[in-house]
């Protein structure tokens, strides 16, 4: 911490300036990548990830969301390295290799972000461009050209003008530790998600929604992150309803609420982290408090408030007024709820805040699942086939294989397939006959699908010790460098009887992983054992892992659940 003593002669309210000269070492906010950890393998890369309190290792700051300020930055970079920041204005002096940035609106410290590397851009709309490594740019253009403006326009029709000027997107290498981050003017998103169209749509729209909820109006304390995430999730679903219809929105919501209940079973209904107003203990990283409750229980509360109004368009009007009143400031839950009741005096007269069993105070401070969940019947045309197919595979005796095998999953939406696979995953281990028939029916179909689908099938393979498809697990891990597609599989491999197999893959692939990810996987592999020795991977044979460590069964951890279901976006 830094303490500054002010001159005694300083008059009250007299402006003053403090200059701090500093250097930074390696810290949690700054991620340096060698060229080998990028897609192009051509140039080094660096990015920052400030949420929630990491930016204190990037620059001196009041690292709390309660404090907002403008900022300017000067960045010098070698020729051929493109530098970007989350700023409204930028310029480049080519002869000096110097970039200048300025954010004209006040933002909390965690939204100051920088990225530099082999990046090129293309315009994808009147106020949007996409940045990516040269080998990825054509894919990014094909996925997003034209539709980002459609999302921004839909959001503006709901919540008022987009105040940040530009909305650009930069795709980062797979070492990016989360899926997406809502840095103003410049959304950061992991390149790995490009192959999963529906997840890409949802993740980018969620970050668009943060432009109003989280960036313009911010939670004042880390104990109330639902004020940003719950409202952004609600706004995201209003935008998807406007642009893709209610059925698609209900399907995505069903998928997320399934994940919420899965986490509830793991944690227990009395776990304090399931509160919306969760207590932040001294010394705890606020990011550890982010979980599905922050997003989905927060969403359910906001949805409940919208239902009290009778018409979601009336609630949209309230949210526009809320943004206008509090933009560029930070708020607490009481600010939101007081504004809500003042905007709808008839609801205040009805004392809706004290309705038995649904009290606002109970929503905020009770542990357990949401007190009420949305009606998702408008999505039944998409969710009912999932429920029917799941029932065919899990009802004994298994005499409906013919009917089940006739279902062509390639015709399904991604969210239908992952919902189906997640439910099979929840029921694992399955009877051997079932997993064998599932593989015969679907394995070849799933091979050609995106990584969000494939990882779920491979987790089912691992949790059921289905050896005929294990080679697909190896092939998948040999080609993945992202936390979200590696950690869940390593967790499952080490929970069961396949730790030797996991070790073998890790020793063969560790050099392609970021050091932070490598360390995490080593910790997973070492659970209950002596620390892993450092091994020269050039000398490793397929027998080495079995000789190094005796295979042991460790206790199940929650890592696969938290990574797969929670860090959807920041």
Assign 378 a pLDDT band (cuts: 50, 70, 90). very high
pLDDT tens digits, one per residue of 184-225: 999 999 999 999 999 999 999 999 999 999 999 999 999 999
Token pair of 108 as six digits: 């909390």
The owner of tokens 């839909």 is: 154
What integer is the mean pLDDT of 232-247?
Answer: 98
Please determine, for residue 544, whether its predicted confidence score (pLDDT) is greater than 60: no
Q: How far is it, in rounded angstroms, from Cα 536 to Cα 539?
A: 6
Q: Which of 430, 421, 426 is nearest to 465 (CA)?
A: 430
Preceding amide of 113 cis, omega within 30: no
Q: Which structural domains are found in the chain, ordered by start?
A: 28-209 (3.30.2010.30), 216-279+287-363 (1.10.390.10), 378-524 (1.25.40.320)
What integer is the mean pLDDT of 456-483?
Answer: 97
> Which runs of consecutive H residues, i.e. helices, occur in 277-311?
292, 298-308
Token pair of 41 as six digits: 């393998």
**Beta partners for 48?**
30
Q: Check: CB of residue 341 under 8 Å from CB of residue 209.
A: no
483: CB partners within 8 A, 6+ apart: 177, 517, 520, 563
Determine if residue 206 is labeled as part of a ligand binding site: yes
What integer is the mean pLDDT of 339-361?
Answer: 98
Q: How many residues can be counted in the chain? A: 570
Q: What is the pTM of this model?
A: 0.92
The owner of tokens 């620390």 is: 531
The alpha-carbon radius of gyration of the chain (Å, integer) is 25
Residue 555: its pLDDT value, please?
30
CA 200 to centroid of chain Cα atoms: 11
pLDDT tens digits, one per residue of 56-74: 999 999 999 999 999 999 9
CA 101 to centroid of chain Cα atoms: 27
CA 40 to centroid of chain Cα atoms: 24
Residue 528: its pLDDT value, please?
53
Q: Check: CB of residue 72 under 8 Å from CB of residue 116.
A: no
Any idea which residues carry the catalytic annotation? 207, 295
| Residue 204 vs residues 107, 152, 176, 345: alpha-carbon distances, Å | 20, 11, 16, 35
pLDDT tens digits, one per residue of 296-310: 999 999 999 999 999
pLDDT tens digits, one per residue of 4-50: 888 888 888 888 888 889 888 778 999 999 999 999 999 999 999 99
Determine if residue 229 is labeled as part of a ligand binding site: yes
Please determine, for residue 257, whether its predicted confidence score (pLDDT) is greater than 60: yes
Q: Check: CB of residue 207 under 8 Å from CB of residue 187.
A: yes
Q: Which of 526, 529, 546, 545 is nearest to 537 (CA)?
A: 545
The owner of tokens 């929503």 is: 363
Residue 275: its pLDDT value, please?
97
DSSP secondary structure code for residue 216 in this structure: T
Q: How far is it, in rounded angstroms, from Cα 295 to Cα 57?
A: 27
- Taking CA 507 as the corner, what is the angle to CA 502 and CA 513, rounded to the nearest 5 degrees? 95
What integer is the mean pLDDT of 148-158?
Answer: 98
């Amino acid at each position: 911490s830094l303490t500054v003593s002010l001159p005694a002669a300083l008059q009250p309210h007299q402006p003053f300036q403090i200059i701090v000269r500093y250097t930074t070492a390696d810290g949690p906010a700054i991620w340096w990548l060698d060229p080998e950890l990028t897609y192009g393998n051509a140039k080094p890369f660096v990015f920052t990830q400030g949420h929630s309190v990491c930016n204190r290792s990037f620059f001196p700051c009041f690292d709390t969301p309660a404090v907002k300020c403008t900022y300017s930055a000067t960045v010098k970079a070698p020729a051929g390295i493109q530098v970007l920041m989350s700023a409204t204005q930028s310029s480049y002096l080519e002869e000096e290799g110097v970039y200048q940035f300025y954010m004209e609106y006040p933002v909390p410290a965690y939204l100051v972000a920088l990225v530099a590397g082999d990046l090129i851009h293309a315009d994808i709309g009147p106020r949007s461009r996409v940045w990516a490594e040269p080998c990825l740019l054509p894919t990014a253009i094909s996925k997003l050209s034209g539709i980002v403006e459609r999302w921004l326009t839909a959001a503006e029709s709901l919540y008022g003008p987009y105040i940040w000027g530009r909305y650009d997107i930069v795709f980062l290498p797979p070492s990016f530790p989360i899926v997406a981050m809502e840095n103003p003017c410049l959304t950061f998103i992991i390149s790995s998600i490009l192959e999963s169209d529906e997840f890409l749509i949802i993740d980018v729209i969620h970050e668009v929604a943060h432009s109003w909820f989280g960036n313009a109006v911010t939670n004042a304390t880390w104990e109330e992150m639902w004020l940003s995430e719950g409202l952004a999730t609600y706004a995201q679903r209003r935008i998807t309803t406007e642009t893709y219809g209610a059925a698609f929105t209900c399907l995505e919501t069903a998928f997320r609420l399934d994940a919420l209940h899965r986490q509830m079973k793991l944690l227990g209904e009395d776990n304090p982290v399931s509160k919306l107003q969760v207590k932040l203990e001294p010394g705890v990283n606020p990011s550890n408090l982010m979980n599905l409750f922050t997003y989905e229980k927060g969403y359910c509360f906001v949805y409940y408030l919208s239902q009290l109004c009778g018409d979601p368009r009336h609630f949209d009007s309230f949210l526009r007024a809320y943004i206008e009143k509090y933009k560029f400031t930070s708020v607490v839950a009481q600010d939101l709820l007081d504004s809500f009741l003042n905007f709808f005096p008839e609801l205040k007269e009805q004392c809706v805040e004290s309705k038995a069993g649904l009290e606002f105070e109970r929503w905020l401070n009770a542990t357990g699942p949401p007190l009420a969940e949305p009606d998702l019947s408008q999505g039944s045309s998409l969710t009912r086939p999932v429920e029917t197919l799941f029932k065919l595979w899990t009802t004994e005796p298994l005499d409906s294989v013919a009917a089940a095998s006739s279902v062509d999953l390639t015709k399904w939406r991604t969210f239908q397939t992952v919902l189906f696979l997640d439910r099979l995953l929840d029921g694992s281990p399955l009877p051997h006959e079932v997993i064998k028939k599932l593989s015969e029916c679907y394995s070849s179909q799933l091979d050609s699908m995106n990584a969000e689908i494939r990882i779920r099938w491979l987790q089912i393979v691992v949790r059921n010790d289905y050896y005929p498809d294990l080679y697909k697990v190896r092939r998948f891990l040999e080609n993945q460098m992202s936390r979200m597609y590696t950690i869940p599989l390593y967790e499952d491999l080490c929970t069961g009887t396949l730790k030797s197999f996991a070790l073998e893959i890790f020793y063969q692939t560790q050099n392609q992983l970021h050091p932070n990810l490598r360390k995490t996987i080593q910790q997973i592999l070492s659970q209950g054992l002596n620390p892993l020795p450092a091994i020269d991977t050039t000398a490793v044979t397929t027998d080495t892992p079995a000789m190094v460590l005796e295979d042991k069964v460790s206790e199940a951890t929650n890592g696969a659940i938290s990574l797969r279901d929670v860090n959807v976006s920041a």
